[in-house]
Amino acid sequence: MPLLLFIVFCIGIIFEENDAQLLSAVKLSQSVPGLITYPDSLDWQTNGVVTPVQNYLDSSYMNAVVMVETIESLHAIATGTLQRGSIARVMDCCATNMTYGCIKSLGGICTYDDYPNVLGKCQTSVCQPFASFDTVDEYYGLNDTALLPLIQKSTLFVGFYPPEQVFLRYKGGIFQETNCSEANTMYALQLVGYDNTEKGDLYWTAKNHWGEWKDWGESGYIRILRGANICGFGSLVYQPVVSAVTTTAKSIPITTSSNTSQLGLTLKILFFVLVLYTAYL
């Protein structure tokens, strides 16, 4: 009998200790349907932290372009100053290791003006980097709805896998091709915002880097149906992050959909009932 009491007492302590963890787990699971709400729309362009559409048709530049764009925008969000970064330097110095890690090891990005053209070999002393980041968050296989909290912080590098011919012909409207395969070529885009049409269609706004090529897209941008993982949208996402930076992002209203501390109360009541029952035995 005292042994049984002791066991129940131990279980009670475990419950108490897990209480906080349990509660935060409940909070997380509820955050999808409505614990946290985000603005109906967001466009980092209108915040003045996105450079004009670049003109790099050569697909070997694609990753360098979008990595540099996300870093220059991150810097602009943090400092209020938007400067065009040098893609050429990344092409010269990270050719065999086209990653955020390589850019970080170079001390960040230099300005376009300091290093405008590819020189054919890495010239580290030509310029002083003006912007960098601390870490890069990587996400694979996300439901694209999960990009909503991420885009509140800064722009994102996203991989997109549309059928080549459909993508090349895109002239505007909300891209919603469904005949896609991850075997398709990846296109890298800078995700800059989201909104919805008057009809209520949700979409993402992403920046390509084909300049004025054949009047592609909507002034070089593409709108992609949101919430449907169109053509692998969300399956490859990078976000450079600067720790402890206060951004100019709009504050996010937090709404609580239910009082989660009730669970803790229930567990405590359950514990005392068990103790009383055991004592009664």
Shortest separation between residue 166's beta carbon and ligand NAG, angstroms: 9
Compute how many other C-beta atoms are within 10 angstroms of the C-beta atom of residue 218. 14
Kindly state whether residue 264 participates in binding ligand NAG, applying the rule CB under 6 A.
no
Residues 135-164 that bind ligand NAG (CB under 6 A): 143, 145, 163
Closer of 247 and 260 to ligand NAG (Cβ): 260
Kindly state whether residue 102 participates in binding ligand NAG, applying the rule CB under 6 A.
yes
Shortest separation between residue 23's beta carbon and ligand NAG, angstroms: 11
The closest alpha carbon to 194, from 150, 162, 142, 245, belongs to: 150
Shortest separation between residue 245's beta carbon and ligand NAG, angstroms: 22
Q: By rule CB under 6 A, what count of residues binds ligand NAG?
A: 14
Cα 52 from Cα 162, distance rounded (Å)? 24
The closest alpha carbon to 141, from 229, 30, 54, 27, belongs to: 229
Helix H or strand E segment including 88: helix 87-93
- Give me the 174-213 binding string for ligand NAG, x by CB under 6 A, dash otherwise: -----x----------------------------------
The closest alpha carbon to 167, from 261, 72, 59, belongs to: 59
Determine contact, residues 222/193, Cβ cutoff 8 Å.
no
Tokens 């580290």 -> residue: 124
What is the binding site for ligand NAG (CB under 6 A)? 32, 97, 99, 101-102, 105, 143, 145, 163, 179, 229, 256, 259, 261
